[in-house]
Structure 1
Amino acid sequence: MLLIYFYFFSVSVKLKLICSHQPIIALAGDDVILPCHLEPATNATFSKVVWTKPGLDPKYIHVHQHGPMLYSQNPSYSNRTRLFVNELAHGNISLKIFGVNISDTGQYWCFLPPIQAEVPVQLIVGSVSTPVIKVISNTSETLVLGCESKGWYPEPELLWLDTEGKILSAGPTETVGGPDDLYTVSSRVTVEKRHSNNITCRVQQRNINQTRETQIHVSGRKVYEKLLY
Protein backbone atom coordinates (compact mmCIF):
# COMPACT_ATOMS: atom_id res chain seq x y z
CA MET A 1 0.00 0.00 0.00
CA LEU A 2 2.76 2.47 0.94
CA LEU A 3 4.62 1.72 -2.26
CA ILE A 4 1.51 2.47 -4.30
CA TYR A 5 0.98 5.79 -2.54
CA PHE A 6 4.63 6.71 -3.00
CA TYR A 7 4.44 6.00 -6.72
CA PHE A 8 1.27 8.03 -7.16
CA PHE A 9 2.61 11.11 -5.44
CA SER A 10 6.04 10.84 -7.00
CA VAL A 11 4.58 11.31 -10.49
CA SER A 12 1.79 13.66 -9.49
CA VAL A 13 3.59 16.78 -10.73
CA LYS A 14 3.38 15.41 -14.27
CA LEU A 15 -0.24 14.27 -14.10
CA LYS A 16 -3.14 16.08 -15.70
CA LEU A 17 -6.81 15.64 -14.94
CA ILE A 18 -8.70 15.66 -18.23
CA CYS A 19 -12.49 15.96 -18.34
CA SER A 20 -14.94 16.58 -21.16
CA HIS A 21 -14.76 20.13 -22.55
CA GLN A 22 -18.10 19.67 -24.28
CA PRO A 23 -21.40 19.61 -22.36
CA ILE A 24 -22.80 16.14 -21.73
CA ILE A 25 -26.35 16.03 -23.10
CA ALA A 26 -28.97 13.53 -21.93
CA LEU A 27 -32.73 13.08 -21.76
CA ALA A 28 -34.61 12.67 -18.50
CA GLY A 29 -34.43 9.05 -17.39
CA ASP A 30 -31.14 8.30 -19.15
CA ASP A 31 -28.00 7.01 -17.46
CA VAL A 32 -25.05 9.32 -18.18
CA ILE A 33 -21.29 9.29 -17.81
CA LEU A 34 -19.30 12.39 -16.89
CA PRO A 35 -15.90 11.54 -18.45
CA CYS A 36 -12.68 12.26 -16.55
CA HIS A 37 -9.30 10.56 -16.68
CA LEU A 38 -5.68 10.96 -15.66
CA GLU A 39 -3.09 11.66 -18.31
CA PRO A 40 -0.80 9.81 -18.52
CA ALA A 41 -2.90 6.88 -17.30
CA THR A 42 -2.01 6.31 -13.64
CA ASN A 43 -3.38 4.00 -10.98
CA ALA A 44 -5.96 5.94 -8.94
CA THR A 45 -7.33 2.95 -7.04
CA PHE A 46 -5.97 4.13 -3.70
CA SER A 47 -6.49 7.85 -4.30
CA LYS A 48 -9.37 9.93 -2.99
CA VAL A 49 -11.72 11.00 -5.80
CA VAL A 50 -14.36 13.62 -5.06
CA TRP A 51 -17.27 14.69 -7.29
CA THR A 52 -19.26 17.77 -6.25
CA LYS A 53 -22.03 19.99 -7.57
CA PRO A 54 -21.69 23.50 -6.14
CA GLY A 55 -24.96 25.06 -5.03
CA LEU A 56 -26.21 21.92 -3.34
CA ASP A 57 -26.08 21.32 0.41
CA PRO A 58 -24.27 19.07 0.89
CA LYS A 59 -22.44 19.52 -2.40
CA TYR A 60 -20.88 16.05 -2.48
CA ILE A 61 -22.24 13.82 -5.26
CA HIS A 62 -19.80 10.93 -4.92
CA VAL A 63 -16.66 10.35 -2.86
CA HIS A 64 -14.28 7.43 -3.34
CA GLN A 65 -11.71 6.85 -0.61
CA HIS A 66 -10.20 4.18 1.61
CA GLY A 67 -10.85 4.51 5.31
CA PRO A 68 -13.65 6.32 7.16
CA MET A 69 -15.95 8.43 4.98
CA LEU A 70 -15.70 12.09 5.99
CA TYR A 71 -18.23 13.46 3.50
CA SER A 72 -22.03 13.29 3.41
CA GLN A 73 -23.48 12.51 0.01
CA ASN A 74 -26.34 14.73 -1.14
CA PRO A 75 -29.47 12.61 -0.57
CA SER A 76 -30.86 13.35 -4.05
CA TYR A 77 -27.96 11.29 -5.48
CA SER A 78 -28.22 8.39 -3.05
CA ASN A 79 -27.85 5.03 -4.87
CA ARG A 80 -27.59 6.88 -8.20
CA THR A 81 -23.83 7.28 -8.70
CA ARG A 82 -20.76 5.10 -9.10
CA LEU A 83 -17.21 5.12 -10.37
CA PHE A 84 -15.82 2.45 -12.67
CA VAL A 85 -13.87 0.78 -9.88
CA ASN A 86 -12.21 -1.77 -12.15
CA GLU A 87 -10.89 1.03 -14.36
CA LEU A 88 -9.42 3.23 -11.62
CA ALA A 89 -6.16 1.34 -12.07
CA HIS A 90 -6.00 2.79 -15.59
CA GLY A 91 -6.71 6.36 -14.49
CA ASN A 92 -10.41 6.41 -15.37
CA ILE A 93 -12.24 8.41 -12.69
CA SER A 94 -15.42 9.08 -14.69
CA LEU A 95 -18.70 9.33 -12.80
CA LYS A 96 -21.87 7.50 -13.86
CA ILE A 97 -25.24 8.94 -12.81
CA PHE A 98 -28.31 6.73 -13.11
CA GLY A 99 -31.75 8.00 -14.12
CA VAL A 100 -30.99 11.69 -14.52
CA ASN A 101 -33.72 14.29 -14.20
CA ILE A 102 -34.09 17.96 -15.04
CA SER A 103 -32.81 19.07 -11.63
CA ASP A 104 -29.51 17.26 -12.33
CA THR A 105 -28.67 19.88 -14.97
CA GLY A 106 -25.65 21.96 -13.99
CA GLN A 107 -21.90 22.02 -13.53
CA TYR A 108 -20.12 19.18 -11.75
CA TRP A 109 -16.55 19.26 -10.46
CA CYS A 110 -14.12 16.38 -10.33
CA PHE A 111 -11.48 16.86 -7.61
CA LEU A 112 -8.37 14.74 -7.16
CA PRO A 113 -6.71 15.81 -3.86
CA PRO A 114 -3.30 14.12 -4.40
CA ILE A 115 -2.51 16.42 -7.33
CA GLN A 116 -4.79 19.31 -6.21
CA ALA A 117 -6.58 19.23 -9.56
CA GLU A 118 -10.24 20.23 -9.97
CA VAL A 119 -11.98 20.25 -13.36
CA PRO A 120 -15.63 21.02 -14.28
CA VAL A 121 -18.02 19.02 -16.46
CA GLN A 122 -21.30 20.50 -17.69
CA LEU A 123 -24.44 18.31 -17.79
CA ILE A 124 -27.58 19.33 -19.67
CA VAL A 125 -30.66 17.18 -19.11
CA GLY A 126 -33.57 17.68 -21.52
CA SER A 127 -37.13 16.52 -21.82
CA VAL A 128 -39.14 16.10 -25.05
CA SER A 129 -42.57 14.99 -26.25
CA THR A 130 -44.34 14.41 -29.56
CA PRO A 131 -46.58 17.26 -30.76
CA VAL A 132 -50.30 16.76 -31.31
CA ILE A 133 -52.18 18.40 -34.20
CA LYS A 134 -55.90 19.16 -33.96
CA VAL A 135 -58.34 20.60 -36.49
CA ILE A 136 -59.69 23.82 -34.97
CA SER A 137 -61.80 24.93 -37.93
CA ASN A 138 -62.73 23.17 -41.19
CA THR A 139 -64.45 25.08 -43.98
CA SER A 140 -64.82 24.32 -47.67
CA GLU A 141 -61.71 26.33 -48.49
CA THR A 142 -59.47 26.43 -45.42
CA LEU A 143 -58.35 24.53 -42.37
CA VAL A 144 -57.25 26.05 -39.09
CA LEU A 145 -54.84 23.66 -37.39
CA GLY A 146 -53.59 23.78 -33.85
CA CYS A 147 -50.43 22.11 -32.57
CA GLU A 148 -49.43 21.53 -28.95
CA SER A 149 -46.49 19.77 -27.35
CA LYS A 150 -46.05 19.36 -23.59
CA GLY A 151 -43.14 18.46 -21.34
CA TRP A 152 -40.11 20.12 -22.98
CA TYR A 153 -36.88 21.29 -21.39
CA PRO A 154 -35.10 23.55 -22.18
CA GLU A 155 -37.67 25.81 -23.83
CA PRO A 156 -38.18 24.69 -27.48
CA GLU A 157 -39.36 26.42 -30.65
CA LEU A 158 -42.36 25.41 -32.79
CA LEU A 159 -42.47 25.61 -36.58
CA TRP A 160 -45.09 24.83 -39.23
CA LEU A 161 -43.77 23.41 -42.52
CA ASP A 162 -45.39 22.76 -45.91
CA THR A 163 -44.87 19.78 -48.23
CA GLU A 164 -41.56 21.17 -49.46
CA GLY A 165 -40.29 21.80 -45.96
CA LYS A 166 -40.73 25.56 -46.19
CA ILE A 167 -41.72 27.44 -43.05
CA LEU A 168 -45.35 28.57 -43.08
CA SER A 169 -46.57 31.89 -41.78
CA ALA A 170 -48.46 31.06 -38.59
CA GLY A 171 -49.77 32.63 -35.44
CA PRO A 172 -47.40 33.39 -32.57
CA THR A 173 -46.13 30.49 -30.50
CA GLU A 174 -47.52 30.44 -26.98
CA THR A 175 -45.10 29.11 -24.37
CA VAL A 176 -46.19 28.17 -20.86
CA GLY A 177 -43.79 27.06 -18.12
CA GLY A 178 -45.11 24.66 -15.50
CA PRO A 179 -44.19 24.24 -11.83
CA ASP A 180 -42.08 21.22 -12.83
CA ASP A 181 -39.86 23.50 -15.00
CA LEU A 182 -41.22 21.86 -18.16
CA TYR A 183 -42.55 23.89 -21.07
CA THR A 184 -45.70 23.55 -23.18
CA VAL A 185 -45.71 25.19 -26.61
CA SER A 186 -48.67 25.69 -28.95
CA SER A 187 -49.52 27.51 -32.18
CA ARG A 188 -52.16 27.75 -34.92
CA VAL A 189 -51.89 27.95 -38.69
CA THR A 190 -54.44 28.47 -41.48
CA VAL A 191 -53.97 26.46 -44.68
CA GLU A 192 -55.87 26.37 -47.95
CA LYS A 193 -57.50 23.15 -49.13
CA ARG A 194 -57.23 23.78 -52.85
CA HIS A 195 -54.27 21.43 -53.24
CA SER A 196 -53.18 18.20 -51.63
CA ASN A 197 -50.63 19.12 -48.98
CA ASN A 198 -48.64 17.69 -46.09
CA ILE A 199 -48.47 20.07 -43.12
CA THR A 200 -45.87 19.36 -40.46
CA CYS A 201 -45.69 20.67 -36.93
CA ARG A 202 -42.08 20.57 -35.77
CA VAL A 203 -40.93 21.19 -32.19
CA GLN A 204 -37.18 21.40 -31.69
CA GLN A 205 -34.59 22.22 -29.05
CA ARG A 206 -31.16 22.84 -30.52
CA ASN A 207 -29.22 22.88 -27.23
CA ILE A 208 -30.06 19.20 -26.72
CA ASN A 209 -30.26 18.41 -30.46
CA GLN A 210 -33.81 17.06 -30.24
CA THR A 211 -36.67 17.33 -32.74
CA ARG A 212 -40.17 15.85 -32.71
CA GLU A 213 -42.66 16.14 -35.59
CA THR A 214 -46.25 15.31 -36.41
CA GLN A 215 -47.60 15.53 -39.94
CA ILE A 216 -51.15 15.98 -41.19
CA HIS A 217 -52.14 15.25 -44.78
CA VAL A 218 -54.76 17.50 -46.34
CA SER A 219 -56.48 16.15 -49.45
CA GLY A 220 -59.75 17.85 -50.30
CA ARG A 221 -62.10 17.16 -47.41
CA LYS A 222 -59.99 14.41 -45.92
CA VAL A 223 -57.38 14.92 -43.22
CA TYR A 224 -54.88 12.29 -42.07
CA GLU A 225 -52.45 12.58 -39.18
CA LYS A 226 -49.03 10.92 -39.04
CA LEU A 227 -46.37 10.99 -36.32
CA LEU A 228 -42.78 11.64 -37.39
CA TYR A 229 -39.73 11.01 -35.19
Structure 2
Amino acid sequence: MKDLLIHLILSSLIPTVFGHKVFGQLSEDVVLPCSFTPNSNDVIHWQRPGSAGQSDEILVHSYYHGKDQLEKQDVKYRNRTSLFHSELPKGNASLELRHLRLGDEGVYNCYAGTEYNIELKIISFSLSYRRGSTSRLECAAWGVRPLPSITWSDASGFINETNRTEVETDGLMSVISELNISDSNQVQCLIHNSVPNLKWQGNWAMTDPLHKVEGNEAILPCDFPYSLNFRNVRAAWSVAGKRLALFDNMTDILEDPRVSRCPVKNRQTDFPIILNNLTISDSGDYLCNISSHNYMQLRVTSLTVDETRDKMTNQIRHRWALLFSTLVVFIACVGIGVGIYCYRHRGRNENNQPSDPMEMAQLNS
Protein backbone atom coordinates (compact mmCIF):
# COMPACT_ATOMS: atom_id res chain seq x y z
CA MET A 1 0.00 0.00 0.00
CA LYS A 2 2.91 2.32 0.76
CA ASP A 3 4.28 1.82 -2.76
CA LEU A 4 0.86 2.65 -4.18
CA LEU A 5 0.56 5.92 -2.20
CA ILE A 6 4.07 7.05 -3.13
CA HIS A 7 3.38 6.18 -6.75
CA LEU A 8 0.16 8.20 -6.81
CA ILE A 9 1.88 11.23 -5.22
CA LEU A 10 4.62 11.17 -7.84
CA SER A 11 2.33 10.35 -10.76
CA SER A 12 2.09 14.01 -11.76
CA LEU A 13 5.85 13.97 -12.39
CA ILE A 14 5.71 10.92 -14.67
CA PRO A 15 5.72 11.53 -18.44
CA THR A 16 2.41 10.56 -20.03
CA VAL A 17 1.72 8.91 -23.39
CA PHE A 18 -1.75 9.64 -24.80
CA GLY A 19 -3.87 8.57 -27.69
CA HIS A 20 -3.41 4.81 -28.00
CA LYS A 21 -6.75 3.18 -28.72
CA VAL A 22 -7.48 -0.54 -28.38
CA PHE A 23 -10.56 -2.34 -29.69
CA GLY A 24 -11.88 -5.45 -27.99
CA GLN A 25 -14.70 -7.83 -28.83
CA LEU A 26 -17.52 -8.20 -26.33
CA SER A 27 -17.15 -11.43 -24.28
CA GLU A 28 -13.63 -11.99 -25.68
CA ASP A 29 -10.17 -11.17 -24.25
CA VAL A 30 -8.03 -8.12 -24.98
CA VAL A 31 -4.47 -7.00 -24.23
CA LEU A 32 -3.89 -3.39 -23.13
CA PRO A 33 -0.30 -2.47 -24.10
CA CYS A 34 2.18 -0.77 -21.77
CA SER A 35 5.99 -0.68 -21.86
CA PHE A 36 8.54 0.49 -19.29
CA THR A 37 12.21 0.35 -18.37
CA PRO A 38 12.61 -2.69 -16.10
CA ASN A 39 14.64 -2.64 -12.89
CA SER A 40 15.08 -4.76 -9.76
CA ASN A 41 12.06 -3.23 -8.00
CA ASP A 42 9.33 -2.97 -10.63
CA VAL A 43 6.10 -1.23 -9.60
CA ILE A 44 3.16 -1.50 -12.01
CA HIS A 45 -0.35 -0.17 -11.46
CA TRP A 46 -3.27 -0.37 -13.86
CA GLN A 47 -6.13 1.95 -12.93
CA ARG A 48 -9.23 3.65 -14.31
CA PRO A 49 -10.56 7.14 -13.52
CA GLY A 50 -13.33 7.10 -10.94
CA SER A 51 -16.90 7.76 -11.98
CA ALA A 52 -18.46 11.22 -11.78
CA GLY A 53 -18.30 12.56 -8.23
CA GLN A 54 -15.49 10.17 -7.23
CA SER A 55 -11.91 11.35 -6.81
CA ASP A 56 -10.38 7.92 -6.21
CA GLU A 57 -9.24 5.89 -9.17
CA ILE A 58 -10.46 2.33 -9.69
CA LEU A 59 -7.69 -0.23 -9.15
CA VAL A 60 -7.64 -2.75 -11.98
CA HIS A 61 -4.34 -4.56 -11.27
CA SER A 62 -1.18 -3.97 -9.21
CA TYR A 63 2.25 -5.58 -9.15
CA TYR A 64 5.14 -4.85 -6.78
CA HIS A 65 7.54 -6.70 -4.46
CA GLY A 66 7.91 -9.24 -7.26
CA LYS A 67 4.29 -10.44 -7.32
CA ASP A 68 0.70 -9.44 -8.06
CA GLN A 69 -0.97 -7.37 -5.34
CA LEU A 70 -4.73 -7.75 -5.75
CA GLU A 71 -6.10 -7.16 -2.25
CA LYS A 72 -7.47 -3.73 -3.26
CA GLN A 73 -8.52 -4.75 -6.76
CA ASP A 74 -11.99 -3.59 -7.76
CA VAL A 75 -14.47 -6.45 -7.57
CA LYS A 76 -15.50 -5.97 -11.22
CA TYR A 77 -12.05 -7.15 -12.31
CA ARG A 78 -11.63 -10.14 -9.98
CA ASN A 79 -10.26 -13.19 -11.83
CA ARG A 80 -10.27 -11.29 -15.13
CA THR A 81 -6.84 -9.62 -15.24
CA SER A 82 -3.25 -10.81 -15.49
CA LEU A 83 0.18 -9.56 -16.45
CA PHE A 84 2.58 -11.56 -18.60
CA HIS A 85 5.20 -12.27 -15.94
CA SER A 86 7.71 -13.75 -18.38
CA GLU A 87 7.58 -10.48 -20.33
CA LEU A 88 8.23 -8.16 -17.37
CA PRO A 89 12.05 -8.45 -17.58
CA LYS A 90 11.70 -7.27 -21.20
CA GLY A 91 9.84 -4.12 -20.14
CA ASN A 92 6.39 -5.35 -21.16
CA ALA A 93 3.71 -4.41 -18.61
CA SER A 94 0.75 -5.19 -20.89
CA LEU A 95 -2.44 -6.23 -19.13
CA GLU A 96 -4.74 -9.01 -20.30
CA LEU A 97 -8.41 -8.31 -19.60
CA ARG A 98 -10.65 -11.35 -20.08
CA HIS A 99 -14.34 -11.81 -20.86
CA LEU A 100 -14.98 -8.21 -21.88
CA ARG A 101 -18.15 -6.49 -20.70
CA LEU A 102 -19.80 -3.33 -21.98
CA GLY A 103 -18.84 -1.58 -18.73
CA ASP A 104 -15.13 -2.22 -19.44
CA GLU A 105 -15.13 0.45 -22.14
CA GLY A 106 -13.21 3.59 -21.24
CA VAL A 107 -9.76 4.94 -20.37
CA TYR A 108 -7.13 2.83 -18.56
CA ASN A 109 -3.96 4.25 -17.01
CA CYS A 110 -0.75 2.24 -16.75
CA TYR A 111 1.76 3.56 -14.21
CA ALA A 112 5.15 1.92 -14.69
CA GLY A 113 7.74 4.69 -14.71
CA THR A 114 5.92 6.18 -17.69
CA GLU A 115 2.18 6.75 -17.60
CA TYR A 116 0.28 5.30 -20.54
CA ASN A 117 -3.31 6.27 -21.21
CA ILE A 118 -5.13 3.57 -23.16
CA GLU A 119 -8.68 3.97 -24.46
CA LEU A 120 -10.57 0.69 -24.72
CA LYS A 121 -13.50 0.53 -27.12
CA ILE A 122 -15.84 -2.45 -26.90
CA ILE A 123 -16.98 -3.78 -30.26
CA SER A 124 -20.47 -5.21 -30.05
CA PHE A 125 -20.13 -7.25 -33.24
CA SER A 126 -18.48 -10.64 -33.58
CA LEU A 127 -17.92 -13.58 -35.90
CA SER A 128 -17.21 -16.99 -34.42
CA TYR A 129 -16.50 -20.43 -35.87
CA ARG A 130 -17.74 -23.71 -34.42
CA ARG A 131 -16.69 -27.08 -35.77
CA GLY A 132 -18.43 -30.33 -34.89
CA SER A 133 -20.56 -32.78 -36.83
CA THR A 134 -21.64 -29.64 -38.72
CA SER A 135 -19.36 -26.62 -39.15
CA ARG A 136 -21.14 -23.41 -38.20
CA LEU A 137 -20.52 -19.67 -38.26
CA GLU A 138 -22.19 -17.21 -35.89
CA CYS A 139 -22.41 -13.52 -36.74
CA ALA A 140 -23.71 -11.41 -33.85
CA ALA A 141 -24.52 -7.87 -32.75
CA TRP A 142 -24.86 -7.19 -29.00
CA GLY A 143 -26.62 -4.37 -27.17
CA VAL A 144 -27.49 -2.22 -30.19
CA ARG A 145 -30.42 -0.08 -31.24
CA PRO A 146 -32.20 -0.29 -33.66
CA LEU A 147 -32.07 -3.92 -34.77
CA PRO A 148 -29.32 -4.22 -37.42
CA SER A 149 -29.51 -6.21 -40.63
CA ILE A 150 -27.21 -9.23 -41.06
CA THR A 151 -26.50 -10.71 -44.49
CA TRP A 152 -24.35 -13.66 -45.58
CA SER A 153 -22.63 -14.13 -48.92
CA ASP A 154 -19.94 -16.13 -50.68
CA ALA A 155 -18.39 -16.10 -54.14
CA SER A 156 -21.69 -17.17 -55.74
CA GLY A 157 -23.85 -14.52 -54.05
CA PHE A 158 -26.14 -14.15 -51.03
CA ILE A 159 -26.78 -17.10 -48.68
CA ASN A 160 -29.82 -17.69 -46.51
CA GLU A 161 -29.02 -17.97 -42.81
CA THR A 162 -29.65 -21.28 -41.01
CA ASN A 163 -31.06 -19.82 -37.81
CA ARG A 164 -31.57 -16.45 -36.08
CA THR A 165 -31.99 -15.52 -32.40
CA GLU A 166 -33.15 -12.08 -31.23
CA VAL A 167 -33.21 -10.90 -27.60
CA GLU A 168 -34.21 -7.52 -26.13
CA THR A 169 -32.71 -6.41 -22.81
CA ASP A 170 -33.24 -2.96 -21.25
CA GLY A 171 -34.34 -1.53 -24.57
CA LEU A 172 -31.27 -2.81 -26.44
CA MET A 173 -31.31 -5.56 -29.04
CA SER A 174 -28.98 -8.52 -29.48
CA VAL A 175 -29.15 -10.73 -32.55
CA ILE A 176 -27.23 -13.88 -33.52
CA SER A 177 -27.35 -15.18 -37.09
CA GLU A 178 -26.13 -18.75 -37.67
CA LEU A 179 -24.93 -20.30 -40.91
CA ASN A 180 -24.03 -23.93 -41.53
CA ILE A 181 -21.09 -24.17 -43.91
CA SER A 182 -20.20 -27.16 -46.05
CA ASP A 183 -19.05 -26.49 -49.60
CA SER A 184 -17.95 -22.85 -49.22
CA ASN A 185 -14.28 -22.12 -48.54
CA GLN A 186 -14.89 -18.40 -48.00
CA VAL A 187 -17.91 -16.66 -46.45
CA GLN A 188 -18.66 -13.03 -45.59
CA CYS A 189 -20.99 -11.61 -42.94
CA LEU A 190 -22.09 -7.97 -43.19
CA ILE A 191 -23.83 -6.14 -40.32
CA HIS A 192 -25.48 -2.80 -41.10
CA ASN A 193 -27.02 -0.47 -38.54
CA SER A 194 -28.91 2.42 -40.09
CA VAL A 195 -28.79 4.72 -37.02
CA PRO A 196 -25.98 5.56 -36.93
CA ASN A 197 -24.87 4.52 -40.40
CA LEU A 198 -22.48 1.82 -39.20
CA LYS A 199 -21.15 -1.16 -41.13
CA TRP A 200 -19.17 -4.09 -39.78
CA GLN A 201 -17.72 -6.90 -41.87
CA GLY A 202 -16.57 -10.38 -40.92
CA ASN A 203 -14.78 -12.78 -43.26
CA TRP A 204 -14.17 -16.50 -42.78
CA ALA A 205 -11.96 -18.67 -44.97
CA MET A 206 -10.51 -22.17 -44.91
CA THR A 207 -6.94 -22.13 -46.23
CA ASP A 208 -5.20 -25.02 -47.97
CA PRO A 209 -4.57 -27.91 -45.54
CA LEU A 210 -1.02 -28.65 -44.41
CA HIS A 211 0.54 -32.12 -44.14
CA LYS A 212 3.76 -32.36 -42.16
CA VAL A 213 5.94 -35.02 -40.55
CA GLU A 214 6.59 -35.03 -36.81
CA GLY A 215 9.83 -33.36 -35.76
CA ASN A 216 9.62 -30.79 -38.57
CA GLU A 217 8.13 -27.28 -38.53
CA ALA A 218 4.95 -25.82 -40.02
CA ILE A 219 4.41 -22.26 -41.24
CA LEU A 220 0.78 -21.23 -40.66
CA PRO A 221 -0.24 -18.29 -42.90
CA CYS A 222 -2.42 -15.33 -41.94
CA ASP A 223 -2.54 -11.88 -43.53
CA PHE A 224 -4.76 -8.81 -43.35
CA PRO A 225 -6.29 -7.29 -46.55
CA TYR A 226 -4.19 -4.32 -47.62
CA SER A 227 -7.26 -2.51 -48.96
CA LEU A 228 -8.56 -1.99 -45.42
CA ASN A 229 -7.38 0.43 -42.76
CA PHE A 230 -4.99 -1.59 -40.59
CA ARG A 231 -4.57 0.81 -37.68
CA ASN A 232 -5.20 -0.77 -34.30
CA VAL A 233 -5.21 -4.28 -35.74
CA ARG A 234 -5.01 -7.23 -33.34
CA ALA A 235 -4.23 -10.84 -34.26
CA ALA A 236 -4.65 -13.94 -32.11
CA TRP A 237 -3.70 -17.55 -32.90
CA SER A 238 -5.39 -20.50 -31.17
CA VAL A 239 -6.03 -24.23 -31.55
CA ALA A 240 -8.76 -26.23 -29.79
CA GLY A 241 -9.48 -23.24 -27.54
CA LYS A 242 -5.83 -22.90 -26.47
CA ARG A 243 -4.23 -19.56 -27.31
CA LEU A 244 -0.80 -19.69 -28.95
CA ALA A 245 0.09 -16.07 -29.73
CA LEU A 246 -1.15 -12.46 -29.59
CA PHE A 247 0.03 -9.66 -31.87
CA ASP A 248 -0.84 -5.98 -32.15
CA ASN A 249 0.90 -2.80 -33.28
CA MET A 250 2.98 -2.65 -30.10
CA THR A 251 3.23 -6.12 -28.61
CA ASP A 252 4.13 -9.69 -29.59
CA ILE A 253 3.15 -12.26 -26.97
CA LEU A 254 4.02 -15.91 -27.61
CA GLU A 255 2.34 -18.32 -25.19
CA ASP A 256 3.83 -21.58 -26.50
CA PRO A 257 7.63 -22.04 -26.43
CA ARG A 258 7.50 -23.83 -29.78
CA VAL A 259 5.80 -20.90 -31.53
CA SER A 260 7.66 -18.03 -33.18
CA ARG A 261 6.55 -15.21 -35.43
CA CYS A 262 7.50 -15.68 -39.06
CA PRO A 263 9.64 -12.83 -40.46
CA VAL A 264 7.53 -10.65 -42.79
CA LYS A 265 7.90 -7.38 -44.69
CA ASN A 266 4.90 -5.71 -43.04
CA ARG A 267 4.33 -6.62 -39.39
CA GLN A 268 1.09 -4.60 -39.33
CA THR A 269 -0.69 -6.74 -41.91
CA ASP A 270 1.00 -10.17 -41.91
CA PHE A 271 0.78 -12.48 -38.89
CA PRO A 272 2.07 -15.95 -39.89
CA ILE A 273 3.59 -18.15 -37.19
CA ILE A 274 6.05 -21.04 -37.16
CA LEU A 275 5.26 -24.12 -35.06
CA ASN A 276 8.45 -26.08 -34.36
CA ASN A 277 9.16 -29.68 -33.31
CA LEU A 278 5.82 -31.02 -34.49
CA THR A 279 4.20 -33.98 -32.75
CA ILE A 280 1.23 -36.15 -33.69
CA SER A 281 -0.90 -34.31 -31.09
CA ASP A 282 -0.36 -31.02 -32.97
CA SER A 283 -2.83 -32.13 -35.64
CA GLY A 284 -5.93 -29.93 -35.65
CA ASP A 285 -7.60 -26.74 -36.90
CA TYR A 286 -5.54 -23.59 -36.26
CA LEU A 287 -7.53 -20.35 -36.06
CA CYS A 288 -6.09 -16.92 -36.84
CA ASN A 289 -8.37 -14.08 -35.70
CA ILE A 290 -7.48 -10.63 -37.07
CA SER A 291 -9.74 -7.82 -35.89
CA SER A 292 -10.09 -4.05 -35.94
CA HIS A 293 -12.97 -1.82 -34.86
CA ASN A 294 -15.03 -2.48 -38.01
CA TYR A 295 -13.64 -5.72 -39.39
CA MET A 296 -12.85 -9.29 -38.35
CA GLN A 297 -11.14 -12.00 -40.34
CA LEU A 298 -11.05 -15.66 -39.35
CA ARG A 299 -8.60 -17.96 -41.14
CA VAL A 300 -8.68 -21.69 -40.42
CA THR A 301 -5.75 -23.91 -41.38
CA SER A 302 -6.08 -27.66 -40.95
CA LEU A 303 -2.76 -29.25 -39.95
CA THR A 304 -2.11 -32.99 -40.12
CA VAL A 305 1.11 -34.33 -38.60
CA ASP A 306 2.17 -37.81 -39.72
CA GLU A 307 4.68 -40.13 -38.12
CA THR A 308 8.23 -40.22 -39.44
CA ARG A 309 9.05 -42.84 -42.07
CA ASP A 310 11.54 -44.60 -39.80
CA LYS A 311 8.95 -44.80 -37.04
CA MET A 312 6.36 -46.13 -39.46
CA THR A 313 8.88 -48.70 -40.76
CA ASN A 314 9.68 -49.81 -37.22
CA GLN A 315 5.99 -50.13 -36.45
CA ILE A 316 5.46 -52.22 -39.59
CA ARG A 317 8.40 -54.44 -38.63
CA HIS A 318 7.02 -54.78 -35.13
CA ARG A 319 3.61 -55.76 -36.48
CA TRP A 320 5.13 -58.36 -38.83
CA ALA A 321 7.26 -59.74 -35.99
CA LEU A 322 4.19 -59.96 -33.79
CA LEU A 323 2.24 -61.67 -36.58
CA PHE A 324 5.10 -64.13 -37.19
CA SER A 325 5.38 -64.91 -33.47
CA THR A 326 1.64 -65.48 -33.28
CA LEU A 327 1.80 -67.79 -36.32
CA VAL A 328 4.68 -69.79 -34.81
CA VAL A 329 2.80 -70.19 -31.55
CA PHE A 330 -0.32 -71.28 -33.46
CA ILE A 331 1.60 -73.88 -35.50
CA ALA A 332 3.29 -75.16 -32.35
CA CYS A 333 -0.06 -75.48 -30.59
CA VAL A 334 -1.53 -77.34 -33.58
CA GLY A 335 1.50 -79.67 -33.66
CA ILE A 336 1.23 -80.39 -29.96
CA GLY A 337 -2.49 -81.04 -30.32
CA VAL A 338 -1.96 -83.46 -33.21
CA GLY A 339 0.80 -85.25 -31.28
CA ILE A 340 -1.41 -85.69 -28.22
CA TYR A 341 -4.26 -86.97 -30.38
CA CYS A 342 -2.05 -89.52 -32.16
CA TYR A 343 -0.54 -90.68 -28.89
CA ARG A 344 -3.94 -91.24 -27.29
CA HIS A 345 -5.32 -92.98 -30.40
CA ARG A 346 -2.34 -95.34 -30.52
CA GLY A 347 -2.79 -96.13 -26.83
CA ARG A 348 -6.41 -97.11 -27.36
CA ASN A 349 -5.45 -99.45 -30.22
CA GLU A 350 -2.84 -101.14 -28.09
CA ASN A 351 -5.33 -101.60 -25.25
CA ASN A 352 -7.77 -103.30 -27.64
CA GLN A 353 -5.19 -105.92 -28.72
CA PRO A 354 -5.68 -109.42 -26.93
CA SER A 355 -2.84 -110.33 -24.65
CA ASP A 356 -3.50 -114.17 -24.61
CA PRO A 357 -1.65 -116.11 -27.44
CA MET A 358 -4.64 -118.48 -27.82
CA GLU A 359 -6.97 -115.53 -28.44
CA MET A 360 -4.56 -114.08 -30.99
CA ALA A 361 -4.40 -117.46 -32.77
CA GLN A 362 -8.19 -117.67 -32.90
CA LEU A 363 -8.38 -114.15 -34.26
CA ASN A 364 -5.79 -114.90 -36.90
CA SER A 365 -7.63 -118.10 -37.93
**In proportion to residue count, which structure has more strand?**
1
Q: TM-score, length-normalised on structure 2?
A: 0.33
Q: Say which structure, 1 or 2, has more relative contact order (CA 8 Å, 6+ apart).
A: 1
Which of these two proteins has the greater Rg computed from alpha carbons? Answer: 2
